[in-house]
Structure 1
């Protein structure tokens, strides 16, 4: 008969004690015992019923150490977790043995018990094997990954854990980390290299290698997959599993051939393409001709490649989109016959007039050689027949070159109305237009005319709002955003447009307008609690920048109350105090944040940087330096701490050689980071290597990242030391302009720059007022 729950608990505890201290248990068991009755002290033993043997407490001869006591506690929690975990197994609940709610409660108790066991014994790997599945079951993925990372440290050869970490990293977009974990999984000595699990891991690796441009590594993985689909029995795959692999676009013969071709493994690639043709006879003939042409092209057999490509064209195949015509252009270029391309395309088009990809490719080439009217007519013709999103991108390119603003606005608006795919295709054109201020101004003027005659469309208004923002015309941008909101019928949610407008005002430092726009969003009633919290947070930033500190603190306080995940909003609260130069309040809030959220590692790191900066701004450079030194000790490869501490040392003129080394280490990770380039220039200047300091500082001025005034000030100092006085004056003048635009409250820096300009003739004294006494 199965023991009752109370008996099982008692027996579990007694067994644990016996395992830890068996000798003492035997000695105690040999002593005479008295039967216990209810109410009797447990020191005299205990029995559930009168006829039961008395269970005596086991008093060890030698007192246990603290470590042993902790291990005992961990074992107790582990056994408790196992009991709750096994009471209603998942398969039993599925069979209807217990109500779902009861099962969930039991398993939650198991989860809590295992967590306590792991906390007491963090280096006992078996505990995690019970905890992690429960964390995943209750969708606590962040915790599961954190525990998985611990297991990976304790046992790098656990391929299942590596697979879990890889999956999480890939879903988070951290592809290098995902690849690292997958590599450890496939190389684990416990991994059977001829198992379905190995095949799955190689598939994941191959796909990630291909996505990250690691051509050779991707080809290595796909060589294995090629062997798998040719010899499934060798890897324990049945016929169904083989079909699944071959029907997957990521692992079919065609994709295998594509990956191998990119790595120039031509023989294997051709083999894969030929198998693809046999597997799909309907598409096979034309596709095989195209793929053979690619192989021949890479083999530098250009005439033979053209022959195979012509077979594809003669069959009037369209499965490869524009790629065959691009290949034709590349072959002719290799033969110095590019002048034949348009003629050849026109001849193919005569026999395949309904081929949209061909017509668009021809129109693109006509645009390249500035035959703009012919290209425009071709685009218009295809778009009247329906066309696709790429037609609007091509037409926009032609009209941009022709500087036809009114027609360009119409083409862009129609393209944007086609949805996300069209918007993505139009992006390069929008970027090109954004670099042509005269054309943007003409587009805005066209938009205003349309608005007056009620002809402006929603997509056009939204696009013009973005162009006006690029031109830093906040008022015009806001005007068109409001038009878009009024015209919005079945488009995107209005709140998203309002949010774009508010963020535009914030970015362009129009803080009162930003506050008003965020207020409109909050009053719209379209946001859930989390959305309201995020909006209050953004409003708080705008208020802080507008030097309305008390209102900013009130706004961030509302964000904190609305969202349970308080850490980021508590950070902004501390930042607001710092921005207002209320240093002691900022320090108290940052330090409290670190204490309250010990598990938020990334937030703590950011907070430490901010806390250090507050101490430095307050004048306590020593404490600010000590914080960064501790961060460096814990995170020696972190680029920001290497830069920030290096810059702090450079600014004080100390530890200059090490500071240079640390800043260069940061730049190796982020070579285009403007702040890091500024730091390098500044430390080289302090090392009296003036000519070396100029290039990184000049590069830093080209990176728009905030703090531009300080960078230009540094450049001015270096130029002066290099005896380029006029260039120094120009740099300081630019620094002053940036500081005024930024609305900085750093009065000391502004006064220093003005003094430098006066000293070197950059600022002329104002003439005296003739009416002054």
Structure 2
């Protein structure tokens, strides 16, 4: 019942961010001790955080009546300032203005200087308060009052008053006083503001006057006076483009882009190139090639996501090449046009042909090797395998390229062939890369990748030979990775229990996060094939405890649950989280190199397919079909498993003819692609296609 314990509890809850307890106990204390100013301010802050601004304002109104607040000038100013903010936030414009008006009157009191407040500080505060009053009067449509308040602010603080020109200009423009508005704006724009509000208002006013040509000349002068303002350069480029001055627009945007390579300037630059005849792809590649810097050391995982960028810096690198790349990848149509242009410009002997005997010298190549690598990567991401092959063959045909470029080119080329299920060719290319690999990590990882490809081709003995060689050559920190690869090859050879034993022994050691993840994923896929599903789930659930946003794990667990028709709500949440995280990583330019052994490729189409399959199991057939059609349209979507799923959904919708067409598409892919990773589905598809056979509709929950 005593106040001190309750007051102490309020502070304890405040330190623990327990806002509701602060509000409840604070109200009890303030009811008995309304003059506890510090506590009242704390409770008001908690009410504001909880979105209860009106209640917080009412509390401060009561606090203003406290004797101590009335007697302490500085305290009263603080409370009135907070009250003005709260009334503004609840759109009580007049109440907020009244509070600020009281503050302005008190800032002229001479005793404040005696308390140690400097005259300069008081002057700035008064000017800011008058400016805020002007804004509040604009909200109340009291334009004359707003003008008066802004003029008073300028009179109080001439040094900081230039920015008030924008506010005055806005008010005058709303009153139709264009000439006066332009005069005030001109004063403001001489300060070279970083924001565009003033420039955009200038454009509006000049157009209202019908002075479009003068407008462009003035914007050009503004941009010349402030060359580091990239946003102003983009604005100038857009205005020039509106009037058909494409050359001038491109020049302005290029300057802005070189000043600060931003996503916005990259998008505008690409739009300008594509809107000019015979410029789009040619200008893009020429500019991209000009800002490519060749890396000193190429990473084994393939080419960097962006030219000249070291691994691990994707999220922070602001290079021109990176921003251009990200902007173009947002537009798959233009990206395909670019790849078509590039492959035609190279004029290769043909997609399936060997490099021409008279290969061009490197200095005769139209673009730098890193540019070719980047184009090849984009072709791979779009699953445009024919273009990817042409681009990689052109890269490997260059004479004079150093070893790192050749090696990275072969690794990237092999990745193209693996994803196109051309394992024989991929194994040959990896062997060529192996022959020129450096001893140590580079050679070990190349051998392990070759082992994964051979295992996919069912050449398990040869795969194990490569694992043995890799283990013999591996530095100590890579020995765990060789054991994981051994477990995978042994499992593919039909010895899953032996594989699990290898992994169990390995996991007795202290593993890094990446090795722990790879071991757990390998165990999951083996246990899943053995139908030891509860154990398989535990592997993935343990990984989600470490990283709840691991997209591959979210997808695998969601699909596993949907296949068993269990925990479907959780499965939907997981796969939606997976897609959201992937979208964010795509936006940030991060790139997942994936697992080259073929155990877990999971491109975007697979994630969308999983969402559709979850809907199918939930009985939401129309939604499921929409997601499957979306998956098929994505890069990597032309996949037998996705076609089979689409057939199952159509069959459940009693659209048997369309279902048969989808199942046949899946079966043809499995029969025409040797060593397909999903070849085990062949017999199931044959059964579905038998006359009279039908897949039952999914069970309703």
| TM-score w.r.t. length of structure 2 | 0.53
Aligned-partner Cα distance in 1 for 2:491–2:213? 64
Q: Which has the higher contact order (CA 8 A, sep 6+)?
A: 2
CA contact (8 A) 1:392 1:415 kept: no
The Cα of 1:634 is off from its aligned counterpart by 9.7
Q: 1:680 to 1:413 in 2, by over 3 A?
A: closer
The aligned counterpart of 1:722 is 653
Q: 1:549 to 1:528 in 2, by over 3 A?
A: same
TM-superposition CA deviations, 1:81-113 (whole Å, max 9, x none) = xxxxxxxxxxxxxxxxxxxxxxxxxxxxxxxxx
Q: 1:500 to 1:547 in 2, by over 3 A?
A: same
Equivalent of 1:572 in 485, 498, 521? 485
The aligned counterpart of 2:525 is 613
CA contact (8 A) 1:503 1:514 kept: yes
The aligned counterpart of 2:217 is 346
Matched, 1:310 2:186: yes
The Cα of 1:588 is off from its aligned counterpart by 3.1
Q: How does 1:400-479 map to 2 (within 5 A)?
A: 400-401=274-275, 402-404=277-279, 405-416=281-292, 421-428=319-326, 430-431=328-329, 435-436=333-334, 437-448=336-347, 454=364, 456-458=366-368, 461-466=372-377, 468-469=379-380, 470=382, 471-473=384-386, 474-479=388-393
CA contact (8 A) 2:527 2:533 kept: yes
Aligned-partner Cα distance in 2 for 1:326–1:451? 53
Q: 1:462 to 1:354 in 2, by over 3 A?
A: farther
Aligned-partner Cα distance in 1 for 2:414–2:453? 10
The aligned counterpart of 1:59 is none
Matched, 1:751 2:683: yes
CA contact (8 A) 2:524 2:540 kept: no
CA contact (8 A) 1:547 1:580 kept: yes
TM-superposition CA deviations, 1:680-707 (whole Å, max 9, x none) = 6546545655446444544554565789
The aligned counterpart of 1:398 is 272
Q: 1:529 to 1:609 in 2, by over 3 A?
A: closer
Q: 1:291 to 1:444 in 2, by over 3 A?
A: farther
Aligned-partner Cα distance in 2 for 1:630–1:379? 51
CA contact (8 A) 1:681 1:696 kept: yes
Unaligned runs of 5+ in 2: 1-14, 18-48, 52-127, 137-157, 294-306, 310-318, 349-358, 581-603, 695-701
Q: 1:289 to 1:554 in 2, by over 3 A?
A: farther
Equivalent of 1:529 in 416, 436, 440? 440
The aligned counterpart of 1:583 is 496
TM-superposition CA deviations, 1:405-464 (whole Å, max 9, x none) = 545543332243596622123224543675333443223322449969936242654455
Matched, 1:667 2:575: yes
Aligned-partner Cα distance in 2 for 1:635–1:395? 41
Q: How does 1:191-210 map to 2 (within 5 A)?
A: none
CA contact (8 A) 1:289 1:312 kept: yes
The aligned counterpart of 1:481 is 395
TM-superposition CA deviations, 1:134-191 (whole Å, max 9, x none) = xxxxxxxxxxxxxxxxxxxxxxxxxxxxxxxxxxxxxxxxxxxxxxxx999xxxxxxx
Aligned-partner Cα distance in 2 for 1:741–1:305? 71
The aligned counterpart of 1:628 is 537
Q: How does 1:11-160 map to 2 (within 5 A)?
A: none
The Cα of 1:296 is off from its aligned counterpart by 9.4
Q: 1:682 to 1:430 in 2, by over 3 A?
A: closer
Q: 1:678 to 1:426 in 2, by over 3 A?
A: closer
Unaligned runs of 5+ in 1: 1-181, 185-213, 217-256, 266-283, 763-773
Aligned-partner Cα distance in 2 for 1:361–1:698? 39
CA contact (8 A) 1:505 1:511 kept: yes
Q: 1:444 to 1:680 in 2, by over 3 A?
A: closer
Alignment length, in residue pairs? Answer: 483
Matched, 1:735 2:666: yes
Q: 1:746 to 1:675 in 2, by over 3 A?
A: closer
Q: How does 1:277-296 map to 2 (within 5 A)?
A: 289=162, 293=166
Aligned-partner Cα distance in 1 for 2:285–2:512? 48
CA contact (8 A) 2:521 2:539 kept: no
Q: 1:340 to 1:711 in 2, by over 3 A?
A: farther
| TM-score w.r.t. length of structure 1 | 0.49
Q: 1:466 to 1:530 in 2, by over 3 A?
A: closer
TM-superposition CA deviations, 1:196-230 (whole Å, max 9, x none) = xxxxxxxxxxxxxxxxxx9x9xxxxxxxxxxxxxx
Q: Greater CA deviation, 351-360 or 301-310?
A: 301-310
Matched, 1:544 2:455: yes
CA contact (8 A) 1:608 1:628 kept: no
The aligned counterpart of 1:210 is none
CA contact (8 A) 2:267 2:328 kept: no
CA contact (8 A) 2:644 2:662 kept: yes
CA contact (8 A) 1:700 1:711 kept: yes
The aligned counterpart of 2:240 is 366
* CA RMSD across the alignment: 5.8
Aligned-partner Cα distance in 2 for 1:682–1:711? 9
CA contact (8 A) 1:329 1:338 kept: no
Aligned-partner Cα distance in 2 for 1:432–1:677? 18
The Cα of 1:506 is off from its aligned counterpart by 3.8
The Cα of 1:337 is off from its aligned counterpart by 6.8
Q: 1:414 to 1:360 in 2, by over 3 A?
A: farther
